[in-house]
């Protein structure tokens, strides 16, 4: 069987490819709109779920009745629209991914299909994992830091004044309280969820680059120091300005980078084994490396 028989017929004229692309884009857009409408229908429940970390933080700091506010008539509506757009994209991703697969698959060899499909499945799972990590771990820590920091001055002032912890209610002075706006509080949560969801795509991206020959495990190991700097910059840009969440994002993303090195090395090993079985692997480079090593050892021993 020739190599040409291993690939689907893709000799259609350009106009047919464009028509196929238009059909796939329309179906993906319709799926997104349907997902957005579904999420908008349950927008209030989704908003309550996203605000759970800040609610729990406010209750833990002594507020028995947490209240959020909006200051413009249209603010709450557009907040639900934002939630619907993000949720609709996630809900419709299986359909969008399927349409992408149906458009790309006819131009792929069978082995390329088998290599690409697992990443199409792993990508939304990793995004969901990153979003859950942000919602249940990172966002509560960030809220605890910011809201708890606002309570520190009054706490220490009371201790200095009386030598013990006293009731926060006083007859003089101004109480500084948190009156959170819905859109601003939600903005932090959504940014963290999207940021961690995208950062969790790093193994998928680097492994795909490794399969395409655009990245090697040795190259990733040699660029560790640059990766550390890049991860620190990303952590400073996408997280709130507190050390805790930045450190968490750095540790998580760097761990994913190390996992990516392992996955790329595994891909290279599998490719080498396959090429050796087909008799296409060139051993000259390996022999050259061994000779260089032996010459180095001989020079080290001296005369």
CB atoms within 10 A of CB 232: 16
**Which residue, chain included where needed, has tokens 């429940």?**
45
pLDDT in tens, 148-186: 765 544 444 434 444 444 454 555 556 666 777 888 888
Give the residue extent of every domain in the chain: 13-278
188 pLDDT more than 50: yes
Per-residue pLDDT at 169: 52
Instruction: Say if residues 221 and 261 touch (Cβ distance below 8 Å).
Output: yes
pLDDT in tens, 63-87: 778 888 888 888 889 889 989 998 8
In 3D, which of 93, 70, 73 has the Cα closest to residue 187? 70
Per-residue pLDDT at 184: 82
Name the CA radius of gyration of the chain, rounded: 27
11 pLDDT more than 60: no
CA distance 271 to 261: 15
CA distance 59 to 286: 64
Task: Quote the tokens at residue 286.
Answer: 């390996």
Top-confidence residue, 118 or 26? 26
Instruction: Say if residues 140 and 51 touch (Cβ distance below 8 Å).
Output: no
End-to-end CA distance of the chain: 58
Per-residue pLDDT at 114: 67
């Amino acid at each position: 069987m020739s190599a040409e028989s291993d690939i689907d017929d893709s000799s259609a004229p350009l106009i047919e490819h464009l028509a196929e692309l238009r059909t796939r884009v329309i179906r993906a857009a319709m799926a997104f709109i349907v997902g957005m409408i579904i999420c908008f229908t349950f927008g209030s429940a989704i908003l309550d779920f996203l605000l759970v970390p800040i609610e729990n933080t406010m209750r833990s700091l002594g507020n028995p009745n947490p209240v959020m506010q909006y200051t413009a008539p249209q603010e709450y509506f557009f907040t639900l629209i934002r939630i619907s757009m993000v949720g609709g994209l996630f809900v419709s991703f299986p359909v969008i991914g399927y349409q992408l697969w149906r458009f790309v698959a006819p131009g792929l060899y069978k082995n390329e299909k088998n290599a690409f499909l697992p990443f199409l499945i792993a990508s939304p799972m990793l995004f969901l994992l990153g979003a859950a990590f942000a919602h249940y771990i990172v966002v509560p820590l960030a809220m605890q830091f910011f809201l708890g920091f606002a309570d520190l001055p009054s706490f220490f002032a009371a201790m200095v004044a009386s030598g013990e912890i006293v009731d926060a209610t006083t007859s003089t002075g101004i109480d500084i309280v948190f009156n959170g706006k819905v859109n601003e509080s939600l903005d932090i949560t959504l940014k963290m969820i999207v940021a961690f969801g995208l950062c969790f795509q790093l193994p998928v991206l680097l492994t795909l680059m490794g399969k395409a020959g655009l990245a090697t495990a040795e190259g990733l190991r040699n660029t560790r120091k640059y990766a550390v700097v890049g991860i620190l910059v990303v952590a400073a840009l996408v997280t709130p300005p507190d050390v805790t969440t930045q450190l968490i994002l750095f540790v998580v993303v760097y761990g994913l980078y190390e996992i990516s090195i392992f996955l790329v090395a595994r891909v290279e090993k599998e490719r080498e084994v396959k090429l050796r079985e087909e008799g296409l692997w060139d051993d000259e480079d390996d022999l050259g490396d061994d000779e260089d090593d032996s010459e180095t050892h001989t020079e080290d021993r001296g005369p």
